Chain A
């Protein structure tokens, strides 16, 4: 059973929830552990075949996606946008920001580091910065994140990741080289 503290962390305590918009979540697992665990998820031929099989089998896919939601919900407060930015955000989920900012903190973070919209919780981007900085990964936060594809909500981001659909989701911070922003999945139409 999750403890009360745990529920607070994932924003589940009803009196602390602000219905209608996301609430920042400080991950319940340390950044070093998650950077290490990421190697377990890195795409390989087995995962790619698994992903392709899941997409052909709706029931299995539903179960797999539900398991992903359960795990990432408990750790990150995952909202299932289906296009995970965690490896580039110190493993703090930017979709728990009330403004769903993908490119860093807004200008309303309080002097004590609290979210301007939910003043009782810490800004998730401040958490991301502290975690990335402690791991020497602060340059990740300079990567430009492309807009998300809202058709992916509710889908498994692991399947999308293994299928290579996440490529180009973020890009080099060098503005001269990474333009244009044009959506990665839609080749430019004339």
Chain B
């Protein structure tokens, strides 16, 4: 794993996530959804639950097209609270001028990681009457960011000086048709400049293993850290919601049977157990760089999930004072 190898020879500012990916140990990321209100403590509260347990946390960009505090402000608040942010940025609400401006802003204020995606359509959000921008697409945004960083140029060709230096991430959904094309689609994003990729929730390990096999065949895992999405399904209502209402999530029948097969008061525990087992399986799949834990508002359960999966606290934190720097 040599995330960040692509570049112009200039040493980039090194974030924790970049170092973790470069070390080859199993990385952990999580998600911080910004609040809808003007509450400066909301991000810090979520960050407190994650500090020490994750290498970085995504700060989402008006997720599901619902208005929230911006990912830019949320990322700054997360940094202040001691959690390294991954600033998400979507093409849904901004044209190429605003996107490049936000990217420069992020670099200027020291946000070390960006995650670039097309974004959900406003149709699913709280403002379905909004104009969907989609001036450029997610792949083009990755390519734009890389050009800004490595060539020091904007889309227009004008210079960006000094050039920014984030770690560039993207997303992929291995479970959405055409499934046999998904690894090649990720390869395209890697060619455009992605250095890590987080995936949609992995519930179906058979499909995911086939995807990873394609990823390895294409050699993508050597330049791009593939971080698998996971999360605990803690109620039958949540199961129903994610399997029918959220586009792109595939829940296999075996898992549905397993969750329905336990008494109502045991569903939450069973969901946690399934999540733990999936993480354990992921640590054994070649080419998987880590897990991205999306906890549906159950952030306080993340340490327990990681502990039980044998992933534990982040080595930099645990070992920093002993100077061992052990890479797990």
- Whether B121 and A99, one on each chain, are in contact in the complex, defined by CB atoms closer than 8 angstroms, is yes
Which residues of the other chain, B, contact A174 by a CB distance below 8 angstroms? 191
- Whether B134 and A104, one on each chain, are in contact in the complex, defined by CB atoms closer than 8 angstroms, is no
Binary contact track B125-142/A, C-beta < 8 Å → 1, others 0:
000000010111111100
- Whether B137 and A99, one on each chain, are in contact in the complex, defined by CB atoms closer than 8 angstroms, is yes
**Interface segment, one of B55-63, B151-159, B275-283, B311-319:** B151-159
- Whether a CB of chain A sits under 8 angstroms from the CB of B171 is yes
- Whether a CB of chain A sits under 8 angstroms from the CB of B147 is yes
How far does the alpha carbon of A106 sit from the alpha carbon of B134 in the complex, in Å? Answer: 12
Which residues of the other chain, B, contact A189 by a CB distance below 8 angstroms? 156-158
Q: Closest B-chain residue to A108, C-beta based? A: B247
- Whether a CB of chain B sits under 8 angstroms from the CB of A30 is no
How far does the alpha carbon of A188 sit from the alpha carbon of B137 in the complex, in Å? Answer: 22
Range for the number of chain A residues in contact with chain B = 35 or more
Partner of A98, one of B91, B132, B176, B188: B132
- Whether B157 and A187, one on each chain, are in contact in the complex, defined by CB atoms closer than 8 angstroms, is yes
- Whether a CB of chain B sits under 8 angstroms from the CB of A92 is no
How far does the alpha carbon of A153 sit from the alpha carbon of B58 in the complex, in Å? Answer: 36
Binary contact track A176-190/B, C-beta < 8 Å → 1, others 0:
001111110011111
Which residues of the other chain, A, contact B151 by a CB distance below 8 angstroms? 179-180, 182
Which residues of the other chain, B, contact A107 by a CB distance below 8 angstroms? 171-173, 176, 200, 247-248
What's the minimum C-beta distance from A26 to chain B, rounded to whole angstroms?
Answer: 15
What's the minimum C-beta distance from B177 to chain A, rounded to whole angstroms?
Answer: 5
Interface residues of A in 155-190 (CB under 8 A from B): 173-175, 178-183, 186-190
What's the minimum C-beta distance from A100 to chain B, rounded to whole angstroms?
Answer: 5
How far does the alpha carbon of A145 sit from the alpha carbon of B140 in the complex, in Å? Answer: 7
- Whether a CB of chain A sits under 8 angstroms from the CB of B258 is no
- Whether A182 and B178, one on each chain, are in contact in the complex, defined by CB atoms closer than 8 angstroms, is no
Binary contact track A82-124/B, C-beta < 8 Å → 1, others 0:
0000000000000000111111111111110100110000010
- Whether A100 and B247, one on each chain, are in contact in the complex, defined by CB atoms closer than 8 angstroms, is no
* Interface residue count on the B side (C-beta < 8 Å): 48
- Whether a CB of chain B sits under 8 angstroms from the CB of A74 is no
- Whether A183 and B156, one on each chain, are in contact in the complex, defined by CB atoms closer than 8 angstroms, is yes
Which residues of the other chain, B, contact A35 by a CB distance below 8 angstroms? none
- Whether a CB of chain A sits under 8 angstroms from the CB of B250 is yes
Contacts A117-B123, A147-B155, A183-B155; A105 near B176 (Cβ below 8 A): yes
Which residues of the other chain, A, contact B247 by a CB distance below 8 angstroms? 107-110, 116
Contacts A100-B137, A130-B178, A182-B156; A175 near B118 (Cβ below 8 A): no
What's the minimum C-beta distance from B120 to chain A, rounded to whole angstroms?
Answer: 8
Contacts A108-B176, A126-B177; A99 near B132 (Cβ below 8 A): yes
- Whether a CB of chain B sits under 8 angstroms from the CB of A21 is yes
- Whether a CB of chain A sits under 8 angstroms from the CB of B67 is no
- Whether a CB of chain A sits under 8 angstroms from the CB of B94 is no
How far does the alpha carbon of A159 sit from the alpha carbon of B174 in the complex, in Å? Answer: 39
- Whether A182 and B155, one on each chain, are in contact in the complex, defined by CB atoms closer than 8 angstroms, is yes
- Whether a CB of chain B sits under 8 angstroms from the CB of A146 is yes
- Whether a CB of chain A sits under 8 angstroms from the CB of B181 is yes
Binary contact track A125-154/B, C-beta < 8 Å → 1, others 0:
010011000000010011011110010000
Which residues of the other chain, B, contact A108 by a CB distance below 8 angstroms? 120-121, 173, 176, 247-248
- Whether B188 and A144, one on each chain, are in contact in the complex, defined by CB atoms closer than 8 angstroms, is yes
Contacts A104-B188, A173-B187; A123 near B177 (Cβ below 8 A): yes
Which residues of the other chain, B, contact A105 by a CB distance below 8 angstroms? 176-178, 181, 185
How far does the alpha carbon of A98 sit from the alpha carbon of B154 in the complex, in Å? Answer: 26
Q: List 6 A-B contacts (CB under 8 A).
A: A102-B139, A106-B118, A106-B138, A108-B247, A109-B178, A116-B121
B residues near A, CB below 8 A?
A: 6, 91, 96, 118-121, 123, 132, 134-140, 143-144, 146-147, 150-151, 153-159, 171-173, 176-178, 181, 184-185, 187-188, 190-193, 200, 247-248, 250
Closest A-B pairs by Cβ, 5 of them: A107-B173, A175-B191, A188-B157, A108-B247, A103-B139
